[in-house]
């Protein structure tokens, strides 16, 4: 990334020239170096500044509103530009990005650029999806270092290791919605607690007692950390398989925050204290969009219960043709 090194007294004149001739690279800021300033210029405009020293900037400072596409479009051959990701996740001080296969050869450049844009971030990881029932992330470090971070959301702190645990940022509205519904005298069961995505905000914002079951020892470790970090004392953390260890007849509300958990519906229904609300999540192909309702009905009938569907809503697109739905159902 080039810049014209110009004595301070000429800086204003050269800046104007660079702006007028559209040679100035707006993604980078002008920086001071001793008695000179470095005015960032785009490739191909070097001749315009031939009376000044042209330098290759090792540590450019990017404009705060600069974006990955804006910076990279000058660095990556034309035919790849449209593939540059426009979006990525920032979890605490770590960036997670999906990179199309054809852009793999530029991954170091992408990582490096992101760290320069987001100067408070310490590492960039490629997100290659999640594996299995435990939703273990497949990730690769491409810039910086470190995988443990503390993410802040809705006034709660979530410590996690992004190389070991998934963090679903997209469900924030859903978490806030559930938290608002919980009253102080409730007993809540979180059957797939993870690091406390639902349990922590519920415990922070109400006096409800929350039983949080998690099968993965790493997630459970961070669940315990997050209970401490958020100073909540109304969560009962339980390490184990909710299929086998969920007690019966005690909960007012059950959260089933796993996308593939229909086989756990009978367990959730039995966990209710006779009646109560279940928040059931499912990833469902659009073609069979009412499958979650059918599955709930079937499970309830088998358990000799009746149901009233309170709400049936899409949370987000999950994959092409597949949606993430949530059903609020009153079971009695």
Ligand X SMILES: C[S@@+](CC[C@H](N)C(=O)[O-])C[C@H]1O[C@@H](n2cnc3c(N)ncnc32)[C@H](O)[C@@H]1O
Can you read off the two tokens belonging to residue 101?
């296969």
Q: In 3-state terms, what secondary structure has residue 13? A: helix
To ligand X, the closest distance from the beta carbon of 125 in angstroms equals: 18
Cα separation, 82 vs 118, whole angstroms? 22
Closer to ligand X by CB, 13 or 260: give it: 260
Cα separation, 216 vs 200, whole angstroms? 17
To ligand X, the closest distance from the beta carbon of 222 in angstroms equals: 9
To ligand X, the closest distance from the beta carbon of 69 in angstroms equals: 28
Q: Which residues bind ligand X (CB under 6 A)?
A: 133-135, 168, 171, 192, 194, 197-198, 213-216, 219, 241-243, 257-258
246: alpha, beta or left? (left if phi > 0; alpha if psi -120 to 50): beta
Closer to ligand X by CB, 188 or 213: give it: 213
Closer to ligand X by CB, 83 or 133: give it: 133
Length of the chain (residues): 332
What is the DSSP annotation of 157-186? EEEEETTTS---GGGHHHHHHHHHH--TT-
- The CA-atom distances, in angstroms, between 271 and each of 3, 152, 192 are 66, 31, 14
Closer to ligand X by CB, 213 or 300: give it: 213
To ligand X, the closest distance from the beta carbon of 135 in angstroms equals: 5
| Burial profile 123-154: b = 16 or more Cβ within 10 angstroms, e = fewer | bbbbbeeeeeebbbbebebbbbebbbbebebe
Closer to ligand X by CB, 40 or 194: give it: 194
To ligand X, the closest distance from the beta carbon of 117 in angstroms equals: 27
Residue with the closest Cβ to ligand X?
257
């Amino acid at each position: 990334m080039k810049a014209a090194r110009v004595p301070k007294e000429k800086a204003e004149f050269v800046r104007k020239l660079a702006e007028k001739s559209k040679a100035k690279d707006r993604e980078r800021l002008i920086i001071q170096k001793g008695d000179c300033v470095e005015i960032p210029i785009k490739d191909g405009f070097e001749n315009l500044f031939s009376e000044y020293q042209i330098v290759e900037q090792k540590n450019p400072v990017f404009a705060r509103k600069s974006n990955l596409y804006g910076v990279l479009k000058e660095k990556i051959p034309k035919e790849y530009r449209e593939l540059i990701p426009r979006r990525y996740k920032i979890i605490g001080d770590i960036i997670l990005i999906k990179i199309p296969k054809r852009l793999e050869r530029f991954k170091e450049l992408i990582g490096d650029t992101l760290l320069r844009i987001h100067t408070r971030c310490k590492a960039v990881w490629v997100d290659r999806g999640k594996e299995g029932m435990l939703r273990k992330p497949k990730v690769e470090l491409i810039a910086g270092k470190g995988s443990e971070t503390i993410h802040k959301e809705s006034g709660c702190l979530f410590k996690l290791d992004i190389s070991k645990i998934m963090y679903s940022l997209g469900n924030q509205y859903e978490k806030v919605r559930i938290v608002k519904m919980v009253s102080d005298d409730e007993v809540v069961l979180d059957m797939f607690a993870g690091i406390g995505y639902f349990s922590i905000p519920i415990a922070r914002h109400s006096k409800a007692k929350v039983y949080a079951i998690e099968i993965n020892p790493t997630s459970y470790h961070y669940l315990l950390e997050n209970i401490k970090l958020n100073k909540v004392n109304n969560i009962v953390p339980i390490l184990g398989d909710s299929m086998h260890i969920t007690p019966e007849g005690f909960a007012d509300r059950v959260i089933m925050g796993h996308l593939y958990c229909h086989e756990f519906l009978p367990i959730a229904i039995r966990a209710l204290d006779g009646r109560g609300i279940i928040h059931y999540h499912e990833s469902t192909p659009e073609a069979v969009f009412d499958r979650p309702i059918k599955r709930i009905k079937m499970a309830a009938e088998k358990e000799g219960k009746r149901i009233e569907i309170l709400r049936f809503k899409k949370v987000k697109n999950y994959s092409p043709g597949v949606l993430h739905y949530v059903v609020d159902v009153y079971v009695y």
